[in-house]
Structure 1
Amino acid sequence: MKPRGRPARRRMKKKLIVNMTYAPQAEREDAEVVSRDEFARLARSGELLRGALKRGGAEIVAPDIERIPRAAFHAAALRLSTLGPCRISEPGGGSVAVGPAYMARAAARMARDFARTPALLARVRRDIAALESGRPGEGARNRPLDLSLPPVYLRTDPSIGVVSGGSVSHITGVLNSLDAFAARPVFISTDDTPGARADIEKVIVRAPSDFLDFNELPALFSTYHFRDAARKALGERRISFIYQRSSLNNFSGLLLARRFDSPFILEYNSSAVWVGNNWGKGLKYPDIAADIEALNLRAADVIVTVSAALRDEIAARGIDEKKILVNPNGMDPDVYRPDIDGSRVREKFGFGDRTVVGFIGTFGPWHGAEVLAEAYGALLERRPELRERTRLLLIGDGARMPQVRAALERRGAAGCCALAGTVPQAEGPEFLAACDILVSPHTPNPDGSPFFGSPTKLFEYMGMGRGIVASALDQIAETLEDGRTALLVEPGDASALAAGIERLVDNAALRAALGAAARAAAVERHSWTLHTKKIVEKIKETCEGGGRG
């Protein structure tokens, strides 16, 4: 009788984890971690269903299990992805099983909100028309500006769990500086914002779960929910002005300004309609989004834009240029400094004494991170010795990360690149300090229109005093001087970007000179304190004496 061999070892089935948070999920041997966008792609392509037998379970990790966008779709897709158990969980520990009961609740909510949609759209259109026509009770303000009263800063975008990025820098940069020139503000926001000063009064207005299965409708509904919560929080207090960071389909700032008879200040960072059509999948209700955008622009007493391109776009719509302030973004020189120690990060990734090329961002379509990956790979192909002498550090994550990974693999550069993932806002300076060269590879707009951005990373790079290689693109080229504060290269040109990086890799003295000059320029002209001072001065110039500007 032949001796029995050992039984074949059963292959462990991996669990599918869908990360819907802004924080990275740690790599796990027992799990396949994908982003929300990648999960949707797998569902559309059929790969999700074809791999169901190979998976041991599936889980969505979201900031709030009660506020899952398109919950019915995601629950159905999750259930089809595996024969194993399915759950939706929060980083804090709460979870819910995705079974028949959950699916029934999600379907019922979707059906309920579908039936409510015509009434919501009709209400919004009716209110836009009323505000445009200036019906009684919605007219011009009569009370003069009083900066001894608290201003109210509104963050109305629906994002939950954002831990870092340019928007966080911009929000906290203005919020934390306001009381240097006015009274201490009240911050009313849809979520906690990292870096907001602890001594500033905060009111968190959680987005409702209504209409989450439908595109754009949650923002419309949230206008009223946010307005009502803010009114309740402010009570009968008098305020100096309402400052709203513009977001898609939201006009709660205007409603509150009329209610409190105060100036309405709109921070306009981009056209939500343009972004939806060019960087998104298009809008389902573009007419409503355009009407709300136009309403806010016409009604605002002051419009704060970050670039001349945005000013020109607004003026072309017939908006009075006298009420528009062009105010590029900035940085905190006490937070972003050349003397910060990055040795812990260098040690973590095993950089040693290599020259480190760095990028930080949310990997959006405009950031050009995939161009940087191509450029670095091309540089290593042309100069193989730099595989030992250099490393690429990519800090952050986002929509274009799959293209970045693919470019690094195709160019054979993945082994020379460290992917740090998303890091908390407070840790960003330490990661930048680990770099010798910092890159801002922004790309032109896909429709050929002027680049309207004002990248916060650019000013933070300047504050760090490192050598910078950047795209010679609109405001970037106006902020930096080629050969004095940075090396500027042709936008979207991987070869030109590679040459700029190569020049700084080979010349430490040039890196130091460019970095010192960039730091001096940032401290002199681009602090958040100076940025906020300009806002308040514009408000005083336009709004003192009452009446609309």
Structure 2
Amino acid sequence: MNESSLKIVLLVLSGDAKTARDWLKQNYASASLEIVSRYQLEKHSALGRVRAARQLRADIFVIATERLAWQRGQNAMLAFGALAGARQVVLIDSYGGVRKESGVGILARAPFRFAAESLASAAAIAQSRLRLTQLERAIQQRETLTRQPAPDPIRIAYLRSTPSPGTPAGGAATHINGFINAASELGAQINVISNDNIAGLDESRLMLIDPQPIGITRAAFDLRNNLIFSAGVLREIERRPVDLIYQRYGRFTWAGVEASLRARVPLFLEYNGSEVWIGKHWDTSGMISLLERFERLNLLASRRIFVVSEVERRNVLRAGVPNEKIIVNPNGVDTQTFHPDVGGAAARGELGIGPDEILAGFVGTFGPWHGVLTLAEAICLLPADCRVRFLLVGAGRFREQVEHIIRQGGREQQTIFAGHVQHERVPALLDACDILLSPHVPLEDGSEFFGSPTKLFEYMAMGKGIVASRLGQIADVLADEQNALLIEPGSAQQLADAILRLMKSRELRERLGAAARRAAIERHTWKQNAQRVINEYLSLSQGERGFG
């Protein structure tokens, strides 16, 4: 078949579709291309999705994802493309990884692949249940550790496992880099062990334990990779002894627990939220009862648990954790990286923002609690002739809905969708803005808002006028009319009114922004965050709050 008559269908599951489009342009320059989002297919049943895909009549079916190394269900994706009638199926990720097979070959191999993956999944689940029981017993029977003089420098193993699509960059990567860099500046020796790359972190500082994208279900995938990661961590701890295990808590992981027992050193847990709660409400993982046991094991085994907010401290208390183990340690910001006059003028030129226009910016995930739908409604409530334009940086579940609301309101010309950007680009984009927006909304199930948004502290450090929701820690950090304008969560009208007020007063923007930056420098840096962790280790080793 002539290449010019080929039809390519690109299904974007996650990540940035640009890499996939560039690859297709290079390899199939003359073929026609139709892009389909996952949301167009998710409204159908499983059989309905296949029927809808077949109606697209693709010669080549391409599925774009964040990272193939962490993408479970690849056999099912290949089979889906083949059942859609494509002669060739291609999986491609945001890092240039490509997997390409013929439709006939996929269907011929599918029964054997699914059988092998099912057996591997069953083995991982059985092995995990057995080892979990052993670890639960070991924690109950462990002896009190002997106090030792605090070493100088403190050797810390920083463990990060089970990322989700999109987390190599974003708030998680910001937090990881912020803590590691600050702790290193304070004199600690950090050995970073992860099963994925971390945006912004020099790869020479990272011990990478490669995952395997095998698992017939989400839980089986996580359990299998927990076994792989934990074994790798034990080998690395034996090779490079440490004084402290610092684990960024993740779904279905016990690596920190096992390493702490083996090395006989304390485990500190960075607990950004309950994976059980997330598994029930946001990111369905299955096997919730088993996940509950994993979570209890981590909370019980940890000598100190660092939570990002007072709300999360109360949640952990309700889980039965003693108060003396819990330390509130909010997120922070690197005020040397995020500051005024860091490239905003050039960025405004690149974005086509006029000298008399006011630019209001949002950086974050288009997800359930970031308030992007409220923001879209507020944009449409503003007078059509006002001088405000909007820069929306990020992607996620509600991206299409936001674009639809903006189109329906006739505000496409005022709104710039930047998509995913590299984190090192974020300071200049924030500096390009006159107003920064944090329109978070309450959690859907009515739970208290437990987050500590990293972007909030980055906004503060930029010295710009901020509009934010009066919600959870946001309302604790920001003071209405002093360093920000606070609105009722979910109120598009209040958000629109606050934006208009800041648009009309440069003096107000500058006064609020200067106060916000002062507060960030005084109370919300990553160095202060890391110092709290080091102080807890020192007090623990000196016996002030018990080493057992």
Does structure 2 conserve the Cα–Cα contact (< 8 Å) formed by 1:164 and 1:422? no
For residues 349 and 5 of structure 2, the distance between their equivalents in structure 1, rounded to whole angstroms, comes to 34
- Residue 15 of structure 2 corresponds to which residue in structure 1? 22
For residues 25 and 51 of structure 1, the distance between their equivalents in structure 2, rounded to whole angstroms, comes to 22
Once the 2 structures are TM-superposed, how far is the Cα of residue 469 of structure 1 from its aligned partner? 0.2
Give the aligned CA root-mean-square deviation in angstroms. Answer: 2.6
Say which structure is richer in helix. 2
Match of 2:131 among 127, 134, 141: 127
- Residue 316 of structure 1 corresponds to which residue in structure 2? 318
Deviations 1:53-94 (Å, cap 9, x if unpaired)? 543422123455565321232112222335453222344364
- Residue 271 of structure 1 corresponds to which residue in structure 2? 274
Match of 1:252 among 251, 255, 269: 255
Once the 2 structures are TM-superposed, how far is the Cα of residue 239 of structure 1 from its aligned partner? 0.5
Match of 1:433 among 416, 431, 434: 431
Q: 1:96 to 1:118 in 2, by over 3 A?
A: closer
Q: Which runs of 5+ in 1 are unaligned?
A: 1-9
Q: 1:364 to 1:390 in 2, by over 3 A?
A: same
Match of 2:172 among 146, 160, 167: 167
| Identity across the alignment (%) | 34
Once the 2 structures are TM-superposed, how far is the Cα of residue 104 of structure 1 from its aligned partner? 4.6
Question: Which moves more between the two structures, 389-398 or 200-209?
Answer: 200-209
- Residue 335 of structure 1 corresponds to which residue in structure 2? 337
Q: 1:158 to 1:109 in 2, by over 3 A?
A: farther
For residues 367 and 25 of structure 1, the distance between their equivalents in structure 2, rounded to whole angstroms, comes to 24
User: What is the letter of the counterpart of residue 22 of structure 1?
Assistant: G
Q: 1:446 to 1:89 in 2, by over 3 A?
A: closer
Is 1:189–2:191 an aligned residue pair?
no
Match of 1:152 among 152, 157, 160: 157
Q: 1:328 to 1:35 in 2, by over 3 A?
A: farther
User: What is the letter of the counterpart of residue 133 of structure 2?
Assistant: A
Deviations 1:367-396 (Å, cap 9, x if unpaired)? 1111101111111xxx2211xx12111011
SS in 2 for 1:196: coil
Q: 1:12 to 1:337 in 2, by over 3 A?
A: farther
- Residue 385 of structure 1 corresponds to which residue in structure 2? 385
Q: 1:163 to 1:331 in 2, by over 3 A?
A: same
Once the 2 structures are TM-superposed, how far is the Cα of residue 316 of structure 1 from its aligned partner? 1.1
Does structure 2 conserve the Cα–Cα contact (< 8 Å) formed by 1:71 and 1:106? no
- Residue 103 of structure 2 corresponds to which residue in structure 1? 99
Question: Which moves more between the two structures, 118-127 or 465-474?
Answer: 118-127
TM value normalised by structure 2 = 0.90
Does structure 2 conserve the Cα–Cα contact (< 8 Å) formed by 1:88 and 1:95? yes
Does structure 1 conserve the Cα–Cα contact (< 8 Å) formed by 2:248 and 2:271? yes
User: What is the letter of the counterpart of residue 256 of structure 2?
Assistant: G
Between Structure 1 and Structure 2, how many residues are aligned?
532
Deviations 1:132-157 (Å, cap 9, x if unpaired)? 22379854434635352420101102
Q: 1:113 to 1:548 in 2, by over 3 A?
A: farther
For residues 294 and 504 of structure 2, the distance between their equivalents in structure 1, rounded to whole angstroms, comes to 52
- Residue 464 of structure 2 corresponds to which residue in structure 1? 466
Deviations 1:182-201 (Å, cap 9, x if unpaired)? 43200011112122256x63
SS in 1 for 2:71: coil
User: What is the letter of the counterpart of residue 285 of structure 1?
Assistant: M
Once the 2 structures are TM-superposed, how far is the Cα of residue 503 of structure 1 from its aligned partner? 0.9
Once the 2 structures are TM-superposed, how far is the Cα of residue 224 of structure 1 from its aligned partner? 1.7
Q: 1:517 to 1:149 in 2, by over 3 A?
A: closer
Match of 2:230 among 207, 227, 230: 227
Does structure 1 conserve the Cα–Cα contact (< 8 Å) formed by 2:79 and 2:106? no
SS in 1 for 2:175: helix
Match of 2:409 among 400, 408, 411: 411
Q: 1:190 to 1:309 in 2, by over 3 A?
A: same
Once the 2 structures are TM-superposed, how far is the Cα of residue 112 of structure 1 from its aligned partner? 2.3
User: What is the letter of the counterpart of residue 276 of structure 1?
Assistant: G
Match of 2:482 among 465, 481, 484: 484
For residues 67 and 266 of structure 1, the distance between their equivalents in structure 2, rounded to whole angstroms, comes to 23
Does structure 2 conserve the Cα–Cα contact (< 8 Å) formed by 1:331 and 1:527? yes
- Residue 370 of structure 1 corresponds to which residue in structure 2? 373
Does structure 2 conserve the Cα–Cα contact (< 8 Å) formed by 1:140 and 1:547? no
Q: Which runs of 5+ in 2 are unaligned?
A: 26-30
For residues 530 and 331 of structure 1, the distance between their equivalents in structure 2, rounded to whole angstroms, comes to 10
SS in 1 for 2:277: helix
TM value normalised by structure 1 = 0.90
Does structure 2 conserve the Cα–Cα contact (< 8 Å) formed by 1:469 and 1:487? yes
Does structure 2 conserve the Cα–Cα contact (< 8 Å) formed by 1:151 and 1:239? yes
Deviations 1:77-136 (Å, cap 9, x if unpaired)? 222335453222344364422433344545433322323444433332333332222379
- Residue 447 of structure 2 corresponds to which residue in structure 1? 449
- Residue 302 of structure 2 corresponds to which residue in structure 1? 300
Once the 2 structures are TM-superposed, how far is the Cα of residue 174 of structure 1 from its aligned partner? 0.5
Question: Which moves more between the two structures, 351-360 or 57-66?
Answer: 57-66
- Residue 503 of structure 2 corresponds to which residue in structure 1? 505
Deviations 1:424-449 (Å, cap 9, x if unpaired)? 01111111111110000101011211
User: What is the letter of the counterpart of residue 262 of structure 1?
Assistant: V
Match of 1:288 among 274, 277, 290: 290
SS in 2 for 1:72: helix
Q: 1:374 to 1:64 in 2, by over 3 A?
A: closer
For residues 14 and 96 of structure 1, the distance between their equivalents in structure 2, rounded to whole angstroms, comes to 16
Once the 2 structures are TM-superposed, how far is the Cα of residue 228 of structure 1 from its aligned partner? 1.3
Q: 1:432 to 1:107 in 2, by over 3 A?
A: farther
Does structure 2 conserve the Cα–Cα contact (< 8 Å) formed by 1:323 and 1:542? no
Deviations 1:385-415 (Å, cap 9, x if unpaired)? 11xx121110111112122112212222222
Q: 1:141 to 1:210 in 2, by over 3 A?
A: farther
- Residue 3 of structure 1 corresponds to which residue in structure 2? none
Does structure 2 conserve the Cα–Cα contact (< 8 Å) formed by 1:257 and 1:263? yes
